[in-house]
Structure 1
Amino acid sequence: MAIILFFVIILTVIFLIHRSTYRRRYKLPPGSLGLPFIGETIQLISAYKTDNPEPFIDKRMNRYGPIFTTHVFGEPTVFSADPETNRFILMNEGKLFECSYPGSISNLLGKHSLLLMKGALHKRMHSLTMSFANSSIIKDHLLLDIDRLIRLNLDSWSDRVLLMEEAKKITFELTVKQLMSFDPGEWSESLRKEYVLVIEGFFTLPLPILSGTYSRAIKARTKVAEALTLIVRQRRKESVMVEKKNDMLGALLASGDHFSDEQIVDFMLALLVAGYETTSTIMTFAVKFLTENPLALAQLKEEHDQIIAKKSCREEPLEWTDYKSMAFTQCVVNETLRMANIIGGIFRRAMTDINIKGYTIPKGWKVFASFRAVHLNPDHFKDARTFNPWRWQRKPEATSPPNVYTPFGGGPRLCPGYELARVVLSVFLHRFVTRYSWFPAEEDKLVFFPTTRTQKRYPIIVKPRVEPKSCN
């Protein structure tokens, strides 16, 4: 016991000397590095048990300003809630900063995921992904599937619905369709259940012995990878004899890059995570915000009832012109993305000593650019923590600088599915508000850590406004 205590004391002394050396050598942003080794990780995790979306950052911004130093998840980190600094970080990806995420996320996504790729390979894969989610592809190929799959899911709803759970089914099925051309079925639902376990392991200690959640996530990840590998191998064989399918997997197999099975599986696994978790949460939050704002809901219903009125039948497929006519819907989408930023921010690592805003970020340190803290700052948006879709009808805020409104990130790592996400949310809102009236089944709270969600998956009671009829 005495020997262990001796080593702990020695390590603590070394840590404190190392810390003071940094303070003397660099002009670091103000802040506290907290306790040796632990830093302020406990304060960060415990702070998010409140319903404040940014309690950890708010407290330190009030004391130190929008750029501050802390120590979380085992590493000294500079937090930024400053729009200009965030843009500087985003635009210098691969030059001054490199992608860096906690080990649990890296291990579960795989080294070939788009989130972790770097350099020329990332640029190539990012471009390929965007080519399958741009407006022309959505207009000509995806919109019909989006509308069809959303209607198919709504057909299965009963009186009481866990909205977040149903939204996740919709987005997962849409992503599977886009990636591999699979329609909903037992295979996709079985895969989705494993994905739930994978995502639960993202913000845990990456040590199977110490974390049962992480251990289950690793096992689930293995099952998902095995299932996807079988599909990839089958499609490789078919590509010789069968006409190439117009999906992401087909594009990967047909490219001249000769990707391995492992590379393709990691890539698709990460895209399925992105499609599953982010858009579905935004769908849920949009309904929650609208439920709590009857005026916004009434205006949204009016817009979509006008679209239905022009159709020969309520269930007639939506067209691109219908989507483009959803002006107020886009205001709702913008405001939901601003208030419920699913990606609260991004981690990067300094590749060299970096001077910015009069401070130095030492080489090797992590930085966290917080998008949500900017979105919720009243200096940038009036009554920033109030849901107000009409703010996007007024030019000063509708034309906000790109570094102030960043729901999809920016720079070389701009979310490649940003336009697709907006279309999916708009089509979902159209079908939902024209088919149902609803009210919350019970009170539910928002949770912002480790992921953005509602505590009880937002249970609602739905009643048909008009019974849908098939179009003959």
Structure 2
Amino acid sequence: MAYFLFFIIFLVFLFLLRKIRYAKLRLPPGSLGLPFIGETLQMISAYKSDNPEPFIDKRVNRYGSIFTSHVFGEPTVFSADPETNRFILMNEKLFESSYPGSISNLLGKHSLLLLKGSLHKKMHSLTMSFSNSTIIKDHLLFHIDRLIRLNMDSWSDRVLLMEEAKKITFELTVKQLMSFDPDEWTENLRKEYMLVINGFFTLPFPLFSATYRKAIKARTKVAEALTLVVRQRRKESDISQEKKNDILGALLASGEQLLDEQIVDFMLALLIAGYETTSTIMTLAIKFLTETPLALAQLKEEHEQIRARSEPEAPLEWTDYKSMEFTQCIVNETLRVANIIGAVFRRATTDIDIKGYTIPKGWKVIASFRAVHLNAEHFKEARTFNPWRWQNNNNSEAVPSPVNVFTPFGGGPRLCPGYELARVVLSVFLHRMVTRFSWVPAEEDKVVFFPTTRTLKRYPIILKRREETRSSIGIGNTADTGRQKEN
């Protein structure tokens, strides 16, 4: 008992000592809340609801757009200011990437999210080279459309849309990474990934968290599976000079002499990024459209005109995608309202003076994109889903031109490398949804934002096929199937 009391006194002493040091600095205004716990419980409670805005709103109204808090065991500066957010995004040397230990451990130290310096720059550039408009047009669009149709062919009359969207995005990401078509191996891999993601926002201590233990075990299985693939591809590249047009092929030929562990960490993180974020955007786009019938009707009209130019199940062409003008309004507005990447986490590498305040070295910094996107100063009726605000003839509805106001994919050196690919996937998905189906929600569902953005019930919907459009283009019709196939 005496040791425990001594430990508590020691922690309180450290807490008071830190407060004395901070008193000498002009910190952003705010409250550190209770010792050690801070305001963590208030934040989690808000983001587990379908209306998390009051957590930041109340503090912005009281302290301003830059304020101090204490969450997840650390003093933290929140920014709801677009100029400050941009400054944070653009200055890697002042604000280094910093995420909870559970995420860092599960992704691996060689993941793109955690890499720094010249290696991050090279790997980021490599990833973007496989997600730009040229490679999407020449290589990926066909497979995006094919795999979306293939999945929809298997749908019943009642589906959990978020679950189906995750299957689609996982298969697309596996295709982009390793040229594998869906089969039993990829589905088993996806199930292990689900366990990994469940561990992201748990205590990173296996002894205290069964969810984290399962996540670590699943992470090991995924890493082992990917390691076998990497080693097999190394052998194949030694025997044959033929290069596969995928990210793994580029990693093996990059000239960086990357170790298997580095490649596996890199691929594992990309699979998670592509799987989780894009599938959520796909689901929420349908939810928002269902709740906005006029937008859904206009979207259907646009895509029926595209289908009228060719056979109903003909593969989409790049010119079809480029003609989806209102669809891009839907994409922008879904990204703005949903905020799948609601914020970025950084850590100050030195004392930083900004906007008249000092952020102490070592403090966590959270740049909130959500707070900017849902601010009426930047977007009229900001919390209403209104895709027409993005039309060129309706500029009074929004102020999207400054690059620091609309930042759904982050920005700076860590701009999401798959931003263009995500837009194409969502557009093709919407095309096939509205031309194949009509639907109604099977039951009421709501969106929550902690630990990740999702619908509580995975958005169950009842489908009615608009016409018999079951695709005749299964995987088996495109030559060899499974992991041996290369397209």
TM-score category (smaller protein): over 0.9
Which residue in 2 is equivalent to 1:54? 53
Structure 2 residue 404 is the aligned partner of structure 1 residue 406: no
The separation in 2 between residues aligned to 1:151 and 1:10, in whole angstroms, is: 61
The separation in 1 between residues aligned to 2:167 and 2:472, in whole angstroms, is: 25
- SS of 2:32 mapped into structure 1: coil
Which residue in 1 is equivalent to 2:173? 175
Q: How far did residue 398 of structure 1 move?
A: 6.3
- SS of 1:71 mapped into structure 2: strand
Which residue in 2 is equivalent to 1:430? 431
CA deviation vs aligned residue, 1:169-225 (integer Å, no higher than 9, x gap)? 000000000000000110000000000010011111100001111111000000000
The separation in 1 between residues aligned to 2:472 and 2:110, in whole angstroms, is: 45
The separation in 2 between residues aligned to 1:209 and 1:68, in whole angstroms, is: 35
Which residue in 2 is equivalent to 1:236? 234
Q: How far did residue 65 of structure 1 move?
A: 1.3
Give yes or no for contact 2:90–2:412 (8 Å, CA) kept in 1. yes
The separation in 1 between residues aligned to 2:399 and 2:329, in whole angstroms, is: 9
In the superposition, relative to structure 1, how do residues 156 and 471 fare at CA in structure 2: closer, same or farther (>3 Å)?
closer
Which residue in 2 is equivalent to 1:156? 154
Which residue in 1 is equivalent to 2:355? 357
Structure 2 residue 272 is the aligned partner of structure 1 residue 273: yes
Q: Give TM-score scaled by structure 2 length.
A: 0.95
Which residue in 1 is equivalent to 2:138? 140
The separation in 2 between residues aligned to 1:162 and 1:26, in whole angstroms, is: 51
CA deviation vs aligned residue, 1:48-95 (integer Å, no higher than 9, x gap)? 2321143321221122111100111111110000000000000111x2
In the superposition, relative to structure 1, how do residues 459 and 334 fare at CA in structure 2: closer, same or farther (>3 Å)?
same
The separation in 1 between residues aligned to 2:244 and 2:14, in whole angstroms, is: 59
Structure 2 residue 454 is the aligned partner of structure 1 residue 456: no
Structure 2 residue 442 is the aligned partner of structure 1 residue 441: yes
Which residue in 1 is equivalent to 2:84? 85
Q: Give TM-score scaled by structure 1 length.
A: 0.98
What is the identity, as a one-letter code, of the residue corresponding to 1:122? H
Q: How far did residue 469 of structure 1 move?
A: 5.8
Give yes or no for contact 1:89–1:369 (8 Å, CA) kept in 2. yes
Q: How far did residue 142 of structure 1 move?
A: 0.3
The separation in 2 between residues aligned to 1:399 and 1:35, in whole angstroms, is: 39
In the superposition, relative to structure 1, how do residues 245 and 321 fare at CA in structure 2: closer, same or farther (>3 Å)?
same
Which residue in 2 is equivalent to 1:131? 129
Which residue in 2 is equivalent to 1:113? 111
Alignment of 1:240-389 (within 5 A): 240-242=238-240, 243-311=242-310, 313-389=311-387
In the superposition, relative to structure 1, how do residues 255 and 459 fare at CA in structure 2: closer, same or farther (>3 Å)?
same
Over the aligned positions, Cα root-mean-square deviation in angstroms equals 1.2
Q: How far did residue 471 of structure 1 move?
A: 7.3
- SS of 2:87 mapped into structure 1: helix
What is the identity, as a one-letter code, of the residue corresponding to 1:395? N
What is the identity, as a one-letter code, of the residue corresponding to 1:430? H
Give yes or no for contact 2:378–2:399 (8 Å, CA) kept in 1. no
What is the identity, as a one-letter code, of the residue corresponding to 1:145? H
The separation in 1 between residues aligned to 2:382 and 2:351, in whole angstroms, is: 34
Aligned residues: 469
- Give % identity: 80
Give yes or no for contact 2:46–2:52 (8 Å, CA) kept in 1. no
Which residue in 1 is equivalent to 2:485? none
Q: How far did residue 255 of structure 1 move?
A: 1.3
Give yes or no for contact 1:16–1:36 (8 Å, CA) kept in 2. no
What is the identity, as a one-letter code, of the residue corresponding to 1:434? T
In the superposition, relative to structure 1, how do residues 80 and 469 fare at CA in structure 2: closer, same or farther (>3 Å)?
closer
- SS of 1:79 mapped into structure 2: strand
Deviates more, 1:12-21 or 1:332-341: 12-21
Which residue in 1 is equivalent to 2:481? none
What is the identity, as a one-letter code, of the residue corresponding to 2:165? A
- SS of 1:369 mapped into structure 2: strand
Which residue in 2 is equivalent to 1:6? 6
- SS of 1:438 mapped into structure 2: strand
What is the identity, as a one-letter code, of the residue corresponding to 2:343? G
The separation in 2 between residues aligned to 1:323 and 1:195, in whole angstroms, is: 31
What is the identity, as a one-letter code, of the residue corresponding to 2:303? H
What is the identity, as a one-letter code, of the residue corresponding to 1:10? F
